[in-house]
Amino acid sequence: MSAGRTNESASHSGEGIDMNTTATAATAATTPAVKAVQVHKAYGSLHVLKGVDLTVEPGSVTVMLGPSGSGKSTFLRLINQLETLTGGSIEVDGELIGYRHVTKGGRDMLQTLDDREIAAQRAKLGMVFQRFNLFPHMTALENVMEAPIHVKGMAKAQARELALAELERVGLGDRAGHYPAELSGGQQQRVAIARALAMKPDIMLFDEPTSALDPELVGEVLGVMRSLADDGMTMIVVTHEIGFAREVADQIVFMADGVVVEQGGPDIIDNPTEPRFRDFLQHVL
Ligand SMILES: Nc1ncnc2c1ncn2[C@@H]1O[C@H](COP(=O)(O)OP(=O)(O)O)[C@@H](O)[C@H]1O
Ligand SMILES: [Mg+2]
């Protein structure tokens, strides 16, 4: 394990390489919100991600599509450091995550960050899952107040004010005193979004946020996500909602078998080039 985590990084450690890439890119002025380079992930002998490259610009929406088992959740979990990389690198806001470069015996090596450093990096990211995982014994308001108080040490009165504002933002200002069991699935997922927003993340990751919902509740959650996008939030969204992808995404990424098969603007949904992407779209549309 530890051998795998202290990788030699000669292939992408040179400052000259990074600067070249930046200088020739069309958007040379901005630091990507997320930059994944040749990301690999294996669970034992199961090679799940096989060299994924992805760049996400600040304020943009990336929608990841792909069949079940293609590695989409694993990729989001790597960005959020719920898993550790087997190979490659990920930068968030221009900062390498999970590791720092150190020079040992004249060689550039990667050293694992400590828990506090990783927690600070993870605080830049908010994540919303298919299952909302709200605390059942806490009201919507208390669920949203929880992390600002216990993770950030925010005063209770301030956390309450913040939580109310975030619940308003997801259209649930009038449900603050309700317990999860008293809310619909769509409302619970909106509380989960408010809970993530209360930590003031730079980037929001959504992993199939509407897949567990009854069809009539999907729209209200997508509506909240759309308004977040309109507000300029940087978002990576794994979803099968093709309409949302077409209307809201700046970038579409189609993954299959641990690789990016096709990537482009939302227009690729209507004009896929790769047969595997075309097949996938025929099944979900
Ligand atoms: N913790 C884990 N241990 C072992 N295998 C895993 C683990 N998490 C995911 N996998 C496997 O990795 C593959 C990709 O899973 P996942 O990233 O969840 O795909 P997707 O989100 O695209 O459906 C699947 O074969 C899955 O079984
Ligand atoms: Mg998944």
pLDDT digits (tens, 9 = 90+) for 56-93: 999 999 999 999 999 999 999 999 999 999 999 999 99
Atom 8 (ligand 1): residue with closest C-alpha? 74
Over the stretch 158-189, which tens digit does the pLDDT of each residue have?
A: 999 999 999 999 999 999 999 999 999 999 99
Fill in the amino acid letter for 34.
Answer: V
Span of 24-33, 69-78, 106-115, 128-137 with lowest mean pLDDT: 24-33
Provide the pLDDT confidence category of residue 132 given band limits of 50, 70 and 90. confident
Which pLDDT does position 25 carry in this prediction? 47
Average pLDDT score over residue span 250-272: 98
CA proximity to 90, closest of 48, 34, 43, 11: 34
User: Could you tell which of 73, 77, 130, 239 is best to mutate to test the pocket of ligand 1, judged by most ligand atoms within 8 Å of the CB?
Assistant: 73
Ligand 2 midpoint to CA 65 (Å): 10
Atom 7 (ligand 1): residue with closest C-alpha? 43
Place of tokens 């590695």: 71
Decide: 103 in ligand 1 pocket, CB within 6 A: no
pTM, two decimal places: 0.89
Ligand 1 midpoint to CA 18 (Å): 31
User: Could you tell which of 40, 47, 48, 240 is best to mutate to test the pocket of ligand 1, judged by most ligand atoms within 8 Å of the CB?
Assistant: 48
Residues 285, 63: Cα–Cα separation, whole Å: 16
Decide: 74 in ligand 1 pocket, CB within 6 A: yes
Decide: 256 in ligand 1 pocket, CB within 6 A: no
Ligand 2 midpoint to CA 193 (Å): 18
* Whole-Å CA distances, 214 to 52, 180, 210, 218, 225: 32, 16, 8, 7, 17
Residues 135, 38: Cα–Cα separation, whole Å: 37
198 and 228 in contact (C-beta within 8 Å)?
no
Which ligand has the nearest atom to the CA of 41? 1
